[in-house]
Each structure stands twice: as structure tokens, then as C-alpha cells.
Structure 1
């Protein structure tokens, strides 16, 4: 990398430290759009899964429903953690106009925040599930199923 940075610095008449510093700069708006778009996709998927779970259990099966909810929230977050890198690397490839990310893949901001992303996915799923269960219980109280 040092020879590449040196060549770029010489070609453009820049200091090598400045060239190296530019590798850390990111388009924050683009990163926010990528993260938000995946969040919307995950929320719609969680909404659909939570609806199926809410319809599956009656009000008197609360203990089993809680266990199923926790299991499904962790499973959906785990799947999201497998899909999210594909989503972000595809977006980064489009941004760069090249499908060869090389060392740039490690510079994606969320590559080093797996625990935060996982817990956020679990939390979002449980929040959506809570909304769906409340609606389901409201319909059951009204006699509508």
C-alpha cells in the first residue's frame, strides 16, 4: 500500500500523509442511506414474521409465545447479520463502480460493530412483535380473529 500511496502522491503532487488520510474518509450520507434501507427491509420482514407468530398463539399460551418470540428474534437477527454484509458490499460496489472491494471492504463502518447491529436487530424485532401481539390481543378481546 505504501508504494501505491507514494505513486498517487507523486502523480498529484500531494503529501503521502494526505493521500493516506483520504482512505479513511467516507460518504456519510451514502452510508446512512444504505443502513436505513436495510433497516426498512428488516422491519418489513420482522413485521411479517411477527404477524405469523401473533396469529399462531392464543392469549392463554403466553409462556410458549414468549419463548417463540425470543427464539424468532434471535434467529431473525442472526439471518440479518448474514444478509447485511451482502447488502452493504453490493451497495459499496455500486458506489465505487467496481465489484472488487479488496481492502476497502474492511473500511466499511459497520464491519466492526457486529454486536451493536445484532442487538439492534433483536430489539427492533421484539418491538415490532410487541405491537403485533397487542393488535392481535385487541382483536381477540373484540371477538375478531
Structure 2
């Protein structure tokens, strides 16, 4: 397997949690495959590597927004849903017709209105920017 994003995601642990990345911060490949086996769709490479790197790290998986566990992923409205905010006002997804793209564009749905809007960035860009925003906000509050 080509590991394009894995090291960038693993680097988030020392950057934001001031700890070394450990195996238990990710989901082992066989466990991830088992969790995804029930789905009738595949996930993009970037999301797979995100789970391999950080799927077991609750401090990042639940940092302000909540990443869905691999077995909770679902397709709704033509989008693979993978993230929601703490107030459940918004959900983020990837267009289902783009799941074969290694790092697809992220879209956000306003749950009250049901409309989708592009975040105008790929999933890797969005995740890295989101954590920077979340953890900078935490530092500003201190």
C-alpha cells in the first residue's frame, strides 16, 4: 500500500498532544478492514490512512468535531458522511461518486436546511486545517 498521508496524520499526535505517536493511536489494518467489510462502498485512500494513523486516538477523533468510526460510515444524499460537529448542526462528507479519488474535496451539509456546500479543499487539507484551528483556539482560551 502506498502511504501518502500516513506520516502527516501520525505527526499530529506530537504536534497537538505533546506525546509520541503510538500504535494504539491508530486502528490496525486488519481491524480497519474488518470494520469496513460490512459497507458496500470503499473509502478514499486519505480516509483509510487517517483511520490507520489516528482512528484510536480519542483526543483527536473527538476534538471539537467528531469523526465517525469506520463501521459507522454511511452514504446519505449522495455523500459519504464521516464527521459532525458537537451540536450536530453540520455534517461533513465526500461525494459518493468521488470515493475512488485518493484525496477528494470535502463538503459540508447544514442539517437544518439540508444543503451542501464545498469546503473548497481536499480531505487532507481540511483535516490538517481543522486541527490547527481547534488547537489554536484552545491555546487562545488559556
TM-score, normalised with respect to structure 2: 0.27
Q: Which has the higher contact order (CA 8 A, sep 6+)?
A: 1
| Larger-Rg structure | 1
Instruction: Please identify which structure carries the higher helix content.
Output: 1
Instruction: Please identify which structure carries the higher strand content.
Output: 2
TM-score, normalised with respect to structure 1: 0.27
